[in-house]
Chains A and B, each alone.
Chain A
Amino acid sequence: MKARPVAIVGTGQTRHRKARPDVHQGEMVQEAVNLALLDADLSWDDIDAIVLTNMELFEGRALPDLWCSEFAGGLGKPVMKVATGGTSGTSGAIAGLLQAASGLFDTVLVVGWEKHSEGSTQTGMSLTDPAWDRHIAAGAIGNFALSISQYVAERGVTGEQAAMVAVKARRNGALNPNAHVKDAGITVEKVLASPMLAEPVHLLDMCPQSDGAAALIVVGGDKTRRYKNPAWFRGSATRHDQPYIGDHDKRMVMMRTLRSAAQEVYRKVGIGDPFKEIDIAEIYEPVSYAELAWYEALGFCAEGDAGKLIESGATQIGGDLPVNPSGGVLCSNPVGATGVIRVAEAARQLHLKAGDYQVDGARRALVSGYGVYTWSDVLFFSAERP
């Protein structure tokens, strides 16, 4: 069966911030949804179905879709909530794209949000395996640092090279009005001088926790015709994996999920050389070192060459393959929305609406999602209709 072509034609994001005390969760959702509708020139009545994404334990709400969907215009409509940890946003976007591709709905709204300031993230993170992980609640940073120590030992990347990722992100973020963390004047020295959290990870190597929401409008069939630059959905792949950190042999080096998902998407879309054939990538990098590891897993460079790739400047805006021109996760991270933001930023590049961080000639965009210890989503969009 040939898939029905669908495209993203509108995006909307809140200004992601450390805290948004002026709005409740539902109002924050509504803000992003209204902006997306405005962008796509549609009204609430045009929406046929809604996919929501949020990690409920971070705020301590149970099934928050029951309450918040009304603010997304969901009353009396088919509504589902997708939640898969960090990949929630990309999984929700895939779900919305597939629902529109099914032909049952012409216009699907995807909206993700998180209001970290309302809850305790340490509680949210620690309720994984109650019998095991909860006891050793050393937090995400320590677990990242453990895997990074293996990556550094294997590949020899340096703290300077990781800091260059953080510098690129915060400088890009300074061009993006929605970004939570931005710093146009940041330097490698400043990153390395920031407090050491867990060797070799400095404070400025890490992503923040943000309040924010992001929305996408997906359309299929005749509804796509009125749009000038739709971001056409070309394919996606998802890989989940075993539940404990220690199940993954050198997880950051191997990252078998992301490798396999990327290979599947490249095969579907017909990409032989990702570095040459992709114009822009929005990838889920929770920590600077992860971006380097993901370069290798996504095939942007040869194994072990990630350090050289960041040094070359090729992944900056204006380079051969700009990665996270929006500033990425290192600048804004409202978990349930983070994956939706990646998709929205990739779509904005193809819509040619990315403003100060628009990548010239962006026609093919790659998105990756990351969650739990190794779960991965990969999506591909193009300016060309499939």
Chain B
Amino acid sequence: MVYRAVRACLDDASLTMPEIEAVVTASADLWDGKTASNIAITEAVGAVMKAETRISGDGLLALMHGAMMILSGHYQRVLVVAHGKCSEADVDAVSNWCFDPVYQQTLGVTDSQALSLQCQAIKMRAAEMTGEESIGALVRAPSWSDSCGLTVRQGDGACAVVIEAGDDGIVLEGFGYDLDAHYLGDRDLSRCDGLARAAKRAYEMAGLPDSQTDINRHYWSLRAALQLPPWAEAIGACSFIEGLATLPNERHQIQWSGLPPFAAGMQRLIAGVKDLRESPGSDRSLIHGCHGPAGQMQAVCLLHSDGGPC
């Protein structure tokens, strides 16, 4: 699975494996059921006798680390690979093991419960702000009202991207990431401060004065569509109420068919790159990635295309 993604990526970039200087991978051991899940893919990603490092978490973090390796001047061209194979693990049971062992794990909290708490918090905030009892009356897509129905499926997948130093084509002009509080009770789950901080770092790095200047498309990694209004608010795209009424739309895309965990952010990035390649003229997109209970870890990448060939 991983080899096929890497092969497709190198073919797309017209590169051979010896031209790759270093590899950054993203995966999570317990989700794969392995001591170090990158051991199993060393050969597939071409990392034999090569510099490889593995980030535990969403692939967008690996991409950002790869970008920092290039910015450091120590490397020129880096292959980034993310994979998740959720069909092999009891994902929800595993997720219980990422809660602190003293309190939340012993309560038996899982990812889906954290997600459902988050959806409730978002609904309550909506109700408080508008006086409407039922969220169904507020949101654009009626199916949002059922919190169970909105969970986006998790699946298997691998994604690969090559990044290198340069100013042409599609440029990663800014990125930011952030880790929010672990205890669910420490966070206002109806907002996403971590994402706001991650986005702010990305805008600053890209030198964008106003947060939403010229961002034409947003590629979201969500577990539940209800996360979109508060999260769009966090990146400064619109107000919470506006978001409830107007999202998702052409500028804010959700992948309804499912995203493999840890490869999700990279999948969104590849979708964004493909669209940018087809778009004529100057264009800018925002890619979102996250992992952890109720989106504890948040990542934002800004891509800019000058419309030239890439």
Contacts and interface: CB of A to CB of B under 8 A. Distances in A.
Given A67-B99, A84-B52, A238-B52, A76 B180 contact: yes
Given A57-B30, A70-B181, A240 B35 contact: no
Range of interface residues on B (Cβ < 8 Å): 35 or more
A78 interface: yes
Interface in A128-142: 128-130
Contact of A240 (B47, B67, B68, B179): B47
Interface in B25-43: 28-31, 33-36, 38-40, 42-43
B42 A3 contact: no
Nearest to B67: A102
A82 B55 contact: yes
Interface string B181-211: 1100000000001100110010001000000
Contacts of A242: 42-43, 48
A3 B71 CA distance: 8
Nearest to A59: B101
Interface string A115-145: 0000000001111111000000000000000
B34 A127 contact: yes
Interface in A324-351: none
| Dominant secondary structure at the B interface | mixed
Nearest to A70: B182
Contact of A80 (B35, B57, B100, B180): B57
Among A82, A83, A238, A241, find the residue whose CB has the most chain B CB atoms closer than 10 A. Answer: A83
B74 A3 contact: yes
Given A3-B72, A83-B29, A124-B35, A63 B292 contact: yes
A69 B201 CA distance: 19
B7 interface: no
B227 interface: no
Interface of B: 22, 28-31, 33-36, 38-40, 42-43, 47-57, 61, 65, 67-74, 94-95, 97-102, 165, 176-182, 193-194, 197-198, 201, 205, 291-293, 296-297
15 contacts: A1-B165, A55-B35, A62-B29, A62-B97, A63-B291, A76-B197, A80-B55, A82-B54, A99-B72, A102-B67, A104-B68, A127-B33, A130-B33, A243-B40, A372-B39
A-B interface, 8 closest residue pairs, ranked by CB to CB distance from nearest: A101-B72, A102-B71, A3-B73, A238-B51, A62-B98, A62-B97, A102-B68, A1-B73
Interface of A: 1-4, 24, 26, 55-57, 60-67, 69-70, 74-85, 91, 94-95, 98-99, 101-104, 124-130, 235-243, 256-257, 260, 371-372
